[in-house]
């Protein structure tokens, strides 16, 4: 009798094509069959909870608190005080946000242009192309801290380029581009370009190689020159790759801490301090984790808003005319 | 259990008697989503609760005395430069106590405070049993309840009465507790004026034992066209500590707090523990202006970003006449320049014949961490490392002033003139020691992260020395008021 009662629902689920039951499983109980898919995705879900949701909720939680490990007697619920302080009483927030914007725009634009130029160059057929490609891509394999070490040696006034130039009578001894407020920004930009250009070159070269040669041949037959072929065939084909890579690079550059921290320490006089570097200083050196968490939350919202806006305005994934 | 007659399933299957739950599950596949809401909410609440208690065990658990045997962990707060000597001491300790193993962990000096903070906040076994602790961040560790007081343990050990009184008082003051000591002092440092004897001799200049001699030598040893400079200063990390040494030594102001009589610059009655700092006293501002004026005029432009390592490397590898740094760099100078080319003297007195004014440099020590589960073994290690023989060995290697009076008369000190001179100046009853407020939890923020960019602005001429001193003084006065309020 029990058997007769349990059987029909199984048949029903199969006929109606209802979700989880489709995966099969013991007919009489139904429960394990329903749970199986959730069990299968549970590890991924737990990982997401542990590595994405928990840290984000944790930051949000601390952003609403006074939390300074060196003054535990002041710790406690702060409401929106940290956010109010950011927007009304922290000029350093606005300075570092402005510098972050300048840094991202400069870096992404220059890396894109130079990366595209290099990709077009190593996409041509010439003797030693393999070696040229390896050389172009090699800086991408170097870590941020190592990049800093290389460039600090190059910029060092005692052992770097300026010393040899001074020996040759060009410039003066003791020239330090990292200590001069007029040159430090571009010195840091060049060091980061060295590392970042290969990223664009690799991505764009991969996309360039997927453009059918027929298109270029047909355009040539129709009388299109090199510039017109680039404008009407190459660029439209690269559009999605460019949008995605600039977005990714923009986010990475916004969050850049390693190179600037090790190359300039955010100086001199705070002139190369990005918002994430300010957050790191506030939390790690200043021990004010509550305020640092609020700054992080604001930075996250800004990045999210800019990313959505960028994808909308650029019509990512849309048809190209 | 309440039972219901199941409604016919939507395909018209045979009705069955079952529980309400079963009926819901089998007859309406959408139903469970509503029932999932409480579970989701519960999960979220659990998650938030986890978040809320993220600090959980904050490392301030009381730990255990333990058996006095087994393994203990020791964090060296200046890993790298001190690794070799610590490994020697640990080997000797393990010979003497074969049933104790010391796990040595070298921590870079620049990261030591954040490493301690992280370990303490992580709780559990994260903090070490024993750690090197400087007075510059002792208050932070005490505020977090991470250290065990060691006053009684010292009193019951061979260290009783054997530690230099000044250092004991510095450690007590830095811990912010009138009664308890939170670390066993092992060595002290002192600001020293290092100079290249070979360059001074070639230029026929007298030793920089007065401020006039110092400024004159700085100018005369500078020849920018040939990449030669009279002085190198610290404009990057640690710049303010360096500047304070130079300011108070020149101004001669004997106290960091003036007890409310801001502006007279004499410290006096209010002395330590007053409400207003003397840092922005006109004499100190004038001294800072003179010091800042050296930048680029007699120093390399790269000094703007100098931390101690860059500054010392630049001095040891270039043609630079003078450097102001503590005794800790003595070993590097001797190694790279040779003993015959380098000399170190205490900073000159404010004027000829006046008492010398010295800013208290951090006292290094060993702390016993409260969360240790083997405090007996940990204390054996601390007592061994602070014993006269080991303390002498350690300080000889690093060129610092030993804390154990039994080590102070050792022969090596007579053979290390800079250390001997520093010790003599410290022991001179006329010497005024300006005690920096290491006990303030905000001290490190104010004297480092918060104001080092401003100090660079002063060097670049974008901020006046007075504006800088006033800004720092205002923050210090507020921190002092906050601390006093907490104490009361």
| Banded pLDDT at B42 (limits 50, 70, 90) | low
pLDDT of residue A29: 56
Residues A44 and A137 in one domain: no
pLDDT of residue B38: 54
Give the integer Cα–Cα distance in Å for A237 and A210: 9
Average pLDDT, chain B: 85
Give the integer Cα–Cα distance in Å for A200 and A265: 27
Residues of chain A in contact with residue B114, where contact means CB-CB under 8 angstroms, are 284-285
Residues A212 and A177 in one domain: yes
Residues A99 and A202 in one domain: yes
pLDDT of residue B313: 86
For residue B27, pLDDT over 50 is answered with no
Percent of chain B with pLDDT over 70: 84
Residues A117 and A236 in one domain: yes
| Banded pLDDT at B61 (limits 50, 70, 90) | low
Domains for chain B: give ranges and CATH numbers.
70-188+362-408 (3.40.190.10), 191-360+435-487 (3.40.190.10)
| CATH number of the domain that residue A193 is part of | 1.10.3720.10
Are B210 and B331 a contacting pair, CB within 8 Å?
no
Q: Span A248-258, mean pLDDT?
A: 92
Pairwise CB contact (< 8 Å): B301 & A157: yes
When divided into structural domains, chain A yields a total of 2
More confident residue, A130 or A28: A130
**Among the partner residues B26, B47, B452, nearest to A57 by beta-carbon distance:** B47
**Among the partner residues B117, B305, B442, nearest to A267 by beta-carbon distance:** B305
Q: Is A240 part of a structural domain of the chain?
A: yes
pLDDT of residue B39: 55
Give the integer Cα–Cα distance in Å for B11 and A208: 56
Q: Is A213 part of a structural domain of the chain?
A: yes
Give the integer Cα–Cα distance in Å for B285 and B472: 12
Q: Is the C-alpha dihedral spanning B50, B53, B59, B60 positive or negative? A: negative
Nearest-Å Rg of the Cα atoms of chain A is 28
Q: Is A320 part of a structural domain of the chain?
A: no
Which residue segment(s) compose the domain that A43 sits in?
2-63
Residues A146 and A92 in one domain: yes
User: Which of A17, A268, A292, A293 best tests the B interface by mutation, with the highest count of B CBs <10 A?
Assistant: A268
Task: Say yes or no: ipTM exceeds 0.85.
Answer: no
Q: Is the C-alpha dihedral spanning B475, B476, B481, B483 positive or negative? A: positive
- Please give the C-alpha separations between residue B298 and each of B293, B342, B458, in angstroms, as whole numbers: 9, 19, 16
Residues A40 and A159 in one domain: no
Strand order of the β-sheet with B184-188 is B100-106, B70-76, B130-134, B363-368, B184-188, B401-402
pLDDT of residue A24: 46
Q: Span A247-251, mean pLDDT?
A: 94
**Among the partner residues A16, A71, A268, nearest to B305 by beta-carbon distance:** A268
pLDDT of residue A143: 84
Q: Is A73 part of a structural domain of the chain?
A: no
Give the integer Cα–Cα distance in Å for B236 and A267: 8
Residues A204 and A264 in one domain: yes
DSSP SS3 for A205: helix
CB-facing half-sphere around the CA of A105: CA atoms within 13 A: 8
Pairwise CB contact (< 8 Å): A268 & B144: no
pLDDT of residue A125: 86
Residues of chain A in contact with residue B449, where contact means CB-CB under 8 angstroms, are 281-282, 285-286
**Among the partner residues B143, B301, B453, nearest to A175 by beta-carbon distance:** B301
What is the per-residue pLDDT across A117-153, written as a single tens digit (0 to 9) for each?
A: 999 999 988 888 899 999 999 998 888 888 999 999 9
Pairwise CB contact (< 8 Å): A57 & B51: yes
Helix axes B239-251, B452-459, angle to 10 degrees: 60
Distance of CA A213 to the CA centre of its chain: 32
Measured between its terminal Cα atoms, the distance across chain B in Å is: 63
Residues A56 and A106 in one domain: no
| Closest among A205, A196, A204, A183 to A254, alpha carbons compared | A196
Residues 84 to 103 of B: which have CB under 8 A from any A CB?
A: none
| Banded pLDDT at B41 (limits 50, 70, 90) | low
Residues A7 and A152 in one domain: no
∠ CA B193-B196-B202, nearest 5°, is 135
Q: How far is A137 from chain B (nearest CA, A)?
A: 32
Are B448 and A285 a contacting pair, CB within 8 Å?
yes
| Banded pLDDT at B121 (limits 50, 70, 90) | confident
- Chain A contact for B316, CB < 8 A? no
Percent of chain B with pLDDT over 90: 58
Q: Is A72 part of a structural domain of the chain?
A: no
Identify the weakest region by mean pLDDT among A186-195, B281-290, B426-435, B450-459: B426-435
- Chain A contact for B16, CB < 8 A? yes
């Amino acid at each position: 009798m029990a058997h007769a009662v349990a059987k029909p629902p199984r048949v029903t689920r199969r006929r109606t094509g209802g979700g989880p039951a489709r995966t099969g499983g013991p007919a009489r109980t139904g429960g394990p069959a329903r749970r199986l898919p959730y069990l299968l995705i549970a590890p991924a879900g737990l990982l997401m909870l542990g590595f994405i949701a928990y840290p984000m909720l944790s930051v949000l939680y601390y952003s609403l608190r006074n939390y300074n490990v060196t003054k535990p007697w002041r710790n406690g619920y702060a409401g929106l005080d940290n956010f109010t302080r950011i927007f009304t009483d922290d000029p350093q927030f606005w300075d570092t946000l402005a510098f972050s914007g300048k840094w991202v725009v400069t870096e992404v634009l220059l890396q894109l242009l130079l990366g595209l130029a290099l990709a077009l160059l190593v996409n041509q057929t010439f003797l030693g192309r393999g070696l040229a490609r390896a050389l172009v891509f090699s800086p991408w394999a170097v870590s941020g801290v190592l990049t800093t070490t290389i460039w600090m040696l190059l910029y060092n006034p005692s052992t770097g380029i300026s010393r040899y130039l001074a020996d040759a009578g060009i410039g003066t001894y003791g020239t330090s581009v990292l200590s001069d407020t007029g040159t430090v920004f571009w010195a840091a930009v060049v060091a980061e370009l060295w590392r970042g250009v290969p990223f664009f070159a690799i991505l764009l070269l991969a996309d360039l190689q997927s453009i059918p040669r027929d298109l270029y041949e047909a355009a040539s037959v129709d009388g299109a020159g090199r510039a017109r072929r680039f404008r009407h065939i190459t660029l439209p084909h690269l559009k999605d790759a460019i949008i995605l890579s600039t977005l990714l690079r923009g986010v990475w550059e916004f969050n850049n801490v390693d190179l600037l921290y090790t190359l300039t320490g955010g100086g001199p006089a705070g002139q190369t301090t990005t918002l994430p570097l300010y957050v790191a200083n506030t939390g790690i050196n200043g021990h004010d984790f509550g305020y640092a968490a609020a700054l992080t939350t604001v930075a996250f919202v800004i990045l999210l808003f800019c990313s959505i806006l960028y994808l909308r305005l650029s019509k990512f994934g849309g048809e190209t005319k | 259990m309440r039972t219901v007659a199941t409604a016919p399933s939507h395909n018209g299957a045979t009705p069955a008697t079952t529980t309400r739950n079963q009926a819901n599950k089998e007859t309406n596949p959408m139903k469970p989503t509503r029932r999932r809401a409480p579970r989701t909410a519960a999960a979220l609440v659990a998650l938030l609760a986890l978040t809320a208690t993220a600090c959980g065990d904050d490392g301030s658990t009381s730990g255990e005395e333990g058996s006095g045997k087994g393994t203990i962990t020791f964090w060296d707060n200046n890993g790298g430069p001190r690794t070799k000597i610590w490994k020697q001491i640990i080997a000797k300790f393990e010979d003497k106590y074969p049933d104790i193993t010391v796990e040595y962990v070298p921590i870079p000096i620049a990261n030591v405070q954040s490493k301690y903070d992280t370990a303490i906040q992580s709780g559990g076994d994260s903090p070490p049993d024993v750690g090197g602790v400087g007075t510059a961040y002792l208050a932070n560790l005490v505020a977090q309840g991470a250290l065990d007081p060691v006053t009684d343990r010292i009193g019951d050990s061979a260290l009783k009465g054997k530690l230099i009184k000044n250092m004991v008082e510095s450690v007590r003051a830095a811990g912010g507790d009138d009664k308890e000591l939170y670390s066993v002092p092992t060595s002290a440092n002192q600001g020293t004026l290092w100079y290249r004897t070979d360059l001074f001799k070639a230029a026929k200049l007298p030793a920089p034992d007065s401020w006039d001699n110092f400024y004159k030598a700085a100018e005369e040893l500078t020849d920018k066209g040939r990449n030669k400079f009279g002085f190198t200063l610290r404009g990057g990390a640690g710049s303010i500590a360096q500047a304070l040494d130079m300011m108070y030594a020149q101004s001669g102001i004997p106290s960091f707090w003036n007890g409310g009589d801001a502006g007279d610059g004499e410290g006096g009655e209010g002395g330590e523990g007053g409400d207003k700092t003397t840092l922005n006293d006109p004499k100190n501002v004038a001294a800072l202006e003179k010091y800042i004026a050296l930048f680029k005029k007699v120093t390399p432009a790269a000094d703007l970003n100098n931390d101690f390592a860059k500054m010392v490397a630049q001095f040891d590898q270039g043609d630079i006449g003078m450097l102001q740094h503590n005794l800790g760099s003595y070993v590097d100078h001797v190694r790279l320049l040779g003993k015959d080319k380098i000399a170190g003297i205490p900073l000159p007195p404010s004027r000829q014949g006046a008492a010398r004014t010295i800013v208290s440099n951090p006292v290094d020590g060993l702390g016993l961490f409260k969360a240790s589960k083997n405090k007996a073994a940990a204390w054996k290690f601390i007592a061994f490392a602070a014993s006269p023989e080991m303390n002498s060995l350690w300080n000889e290697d690093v060129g610092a002033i030993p804390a154990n009076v039994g080590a102070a008369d050792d022969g090596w000190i007579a053979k290390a003139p800079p250390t001997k001179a520093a010790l003599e100046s410290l022991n001179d009853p006329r010497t005024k020691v300006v005690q920096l407020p290491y006990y303030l939890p905000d001290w490190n923020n104010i004297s480092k992260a918060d104001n080092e960019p401003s100090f660079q602005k002063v060097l670049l001429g974008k901020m006046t020395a007075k504006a800088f001193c006033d800004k720092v003084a205002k923050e210090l006065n507020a921190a002092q008021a906050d601390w006093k309020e907490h104490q009361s």
